[in-house]
Amino acid sequence: EDQVTQSPEALRLQEGESSSLNCSYTVSGLRGLFWYRQDPGKGPEFLFTLYSAGEEKEKERLKATLTKKESFLHITAPKPEDSATYLCAVQAGQGSSNTGKLIFGQGTTLQVKP
């Protein structure tokens, strides 16, 4: 069964204290791994897509990496405005079948204190 697990569930950091969020997955054929940010009362907002092991993407203080079993979202010198829930999702499937369905982890809620 395809599964996505995120850890930790919650993370509290001081401003400037770097850390990493983990997303481990088991899928039958990875088509893509996605990171989203969700603010309270809003829909998830796209951050990154990773397709193959060894791939890395960066945006401001965020960097996403991918291995064959997990992905990390590294947050360097975070600011209070980085406080949000970060969601990981995978798109699975093999061959020509692609419904676009995503399987989501439960998210990591990050709080950055000034």
Partner 1 sequence: DAGITQSPRHKVTETGTPVTLRCHQTENHRYMYWYRQDPGHGLRLIHYSYGVKDTDKGEVSDGYSVSRSKTEDFLLTLESATSSQTSVYFCAISRPNYGYTFGSGTRLTVV
Write out the residues near partner 1 by the rule CB under 8 A. Answer: 32, 34, 36, 41-46, 49, 87, 89, 91, 99-102, 104-107
Cβ proximity of 97 and 32 under 8 Å: no
58 phi and psi angles, rounded to 5 deg = -130, 150
Nearest residue (CB) to partner 1, 50 versus 112:
50
- Evaluate whether 11 touches 17 at the Cβ level (below 8 Å): no
Minimum gap (Å) between residue 32 Cβ and partner 1? 7
Smaller CB distance to partner 1: residue 11 or 76?
11
Residue nearer to partner 1 on the CB measure, 57 or 76: 57
| Tokens describing residue 54 | 């060894």
